[in-house]
A and B are shown apart, each in its own frame.
Chain A
């Protein structure tokens, strides 16, 4: 064993705290270390070359890099080893930045000592390291896209157009997501359906796309290249292949309920399509509101009216199992409910509506045919007060983050209202205007200047009803005056929050979400579309609040990641997998229960019961290793022996 130790300064990040020269001298004295040197930036091209040359020149067999976290440059240095002809698993990284210089900035002496300890620990672990070879398994070159909003649609089309099959799963009866609810879109004012519907239709007709609407993902097993997915198709009580979308059933249905798609501002029947451009154009019976139940049929109106006999009250939910190699999560967002904003009435006042409600009132296919009418009495409001940041940037009552899109859509709303009601008056309460996008600032300024919309810098503290009107108590911090406005309607821009089913889905996918329920990316800057679970990618507002162009950009990025993955027929898997020592194993089965991925089975061979690990399923998490009483199971590269000696080295002295 001929170990080379390379210590990185990371500019001043490490070297300004840790005494790298002392460290170099001390590390050089350690057992088996034949070479030790420090360097200003090891991750740089010349830095890597330096390591490479030294390996060759001195015949080094094992390498320690003392630098930043392995999650940043572990891959970089592994490749360096490979290019010098060494096995990549004969590398250990001692993290002397995040775990040392950054956290002990004020105590450089102790930090320097700790750095040496970390190198010693790395050396102890490396002593028992074995060369490993990646596993290569066949890859299923099909993708699953979860969520049929604009992000999911774009991702599915890109992959399908790349020549691979896609399963697109949407939980609602139609594709489209929130974009389908919008009237016109900033900053260009394209009509939302006009640009969205063609894409929805393309999805439905694409020979490479299998569309599952009114369906959800129930279970996922396996890993990148080989996911096994169970899709649950909820019963529509209408056969998709028979329904012609003629609408005859709707005319005869006696039940009228609020239409969720219209934010409850319009009505639908118990048999319905959410909106006229729905894709697929297949009707759905909402059994909760239908007069019939599973047990008792009392109304057969639609059944009788349906020419092609598409209605079937006996339809059951159905499970479909598919196999895919990659998954894209595009489950979108929700809005914080008005109930969470009690100072604005908490949903008590009919004419205090959300921005999404207003989109429906502005939409030509919406409940008012595109005429802005206030919910209480159907009158066209002569003035509207908009309240931005309702629950956003509010760690006390809502969410601490900026919802990013409200500044822009509020400006759009002001414009569309002024176009519809030129003599109407608009007030917009804002804290800051965040219009950082291509042509966004110009859009906002145009509205201020040309439409003479009054922006008031400050928050609204209270909204209440006074006879037919609403009274808004706010402030304009620019003049330093509190203001009171009597208005016909108030539109709040509620915080964008994560989709409430996201948590359950994250559990199924075994991929992390942040404290607000948004899916987490592996690196916010450098790997923004990949989730930490390999083979699972993110698109759209499921990751964080985004507008359409950002959602589409990210969807295409995620799709291109999938296409890159699919460019190979086989997939290399990390060989960091659990291995069973059959001699020590008693077949007790505790590991089977602990494994979160279901990778372990107990088998019986030649009268002996023992555990067997499926290498393709195992993620190398090590739960089994911790649980086994007999120390019979070890994860390669992180064996008990390696970890114990690492810990011992840290505790010594």
Chain B
């Protein structure tokens, strides 16, 4: 499907502001995707998320599972040759979404009913709820 590129860059600016990253530092080598532990589950590869940000196609990212699957493991950041902190970009996108809606991405009620370590629960709450 053809992407219609728009010149509007407000969301990109917001993403860059929250993350402190310049998405145009990325030269699309794919190192982040190659090492990402969650990439197998993602519908967009991490490098594609940045690519879409570069193109200003924020709506494409909104529908994708990728930013929510990101585990903030920092592997991408450790290996990115261009020093892009993709984990921060992922967080920025998550926050923009969470701040806009009234709903949690995954409400606590839908979380696993098991005896989990506290850190697992609290982090999940911080990443997926408002």
Contacts and interface: CB of A to CB of B under 8 A. Distances in A.
A contacts B directly in the complex (CB < 8 Å)? yes
A396 B34 contact: no
Interface centre among B27, B31, B32, B83 (most CB of A within 10 A): B31
B80 A396 contact: yes
A393 B27 contact: yes
Interface in B21-77: 27-36, 39-40, 44-45, 47-48, 75
A393 B26 CA distance: 12
Interface string A472-499: 0111110011100000000000000000
Nearest to B77: A396
Contact of A477 (B28, B36, B80, B81): B28
A395 interface: yes
B83 A477 contact: no
B82 A458 contact: no
A446 interface: no
A461 B31 contact: yes
Contacts of B39: 482
Interface string A335-369: 00000000100000000000000000000000000
Contact of A458 (B30, B44, B81): B30
A241 B83 CA distance: 56
Given A462-B35, A473-B35, A480-B45, A396 B30 contact: no
B52 to A, nearest CB: 11
A389 interface: yes
A475 B81 contact: no
Interface residues of B, number: 22
A529 B45 CA distance: 45
Interface string B80-119: 1111000000000000000000000000000000000000
B82 A395 contact: yes
B79 interface: yes
Contacts of B35: 343, 461-462, 473
B30 A459 contact: yes
A458 B45 CA distance: 12
A397 interface: yes
A240 to B, nearest CB: 47
A457 B30 CA distance: 8
B28 A396 contact: no
Given A461-B35, A482-B34, A343 B27 contact: no
A390 to B, nearest CB: 10
Contacts of B45: 475, 477, 480-482
Given A480-B45, A482-B39, A473 B81 contact: no
A483 B71 CA distance: 20
A394 interface: yes
Nearest to B28: A477
Contacts of A462: 34-35
Contacts of A431: 27-29
Interface in A447-462: 457-462
B80 A458 contact: no
Contacts of B27: 393, 431
A477 B30 contact: yes
A544 to B, nearest CB: 20
Contacts of A389: 29, 81
Contacts of A395: 81-83
B31 A459 contact: yes
A480 B48 contact: yes
B30 A475 contact: yes
Interface in A51-72: none
A259 to B, nearest CB: 33
Contacts of B30: 457-459, 474-477
Contacts of A343: 35, 79
Nearest to A478: B30
A475 B33 contact: yes
A459 to B, nearest CB: 4
Contacts of A475: 30-31, 33-34, 45, 47
Interface centre among A398, A459, A474 (most CB of B within 10 A): A459
A394 B79 CA distance: 10
Nearest to A460: B34
A458 B34 contact: yes
A459 B82 contact: no
A58 to B, nearest CB: 55
A393 B75 CA distance: 19
A460 B33 CA distance: 9
11 contacts: A389-B29, A394-B81, A397-B81, A431-B29, A458-B29, A473-B35, A477-B30, A477-B47, A480-B45, A482-B33, A482-B40
Given A458-B34, A460-B31, A477-B29, 7 more contacts: A343-B35, A393-B81, A396-B81, A398-B81, A458-B33, A462-B34, A477-B30
Interface of A: 343, 389, 393-398, 431, 457-462, 473-477, 480-482
7 A-B pairs closest in CB distance: A461-B35, A458-B30, A461-B34, A394-B81, A475-B30, A475-B34, A459-B31
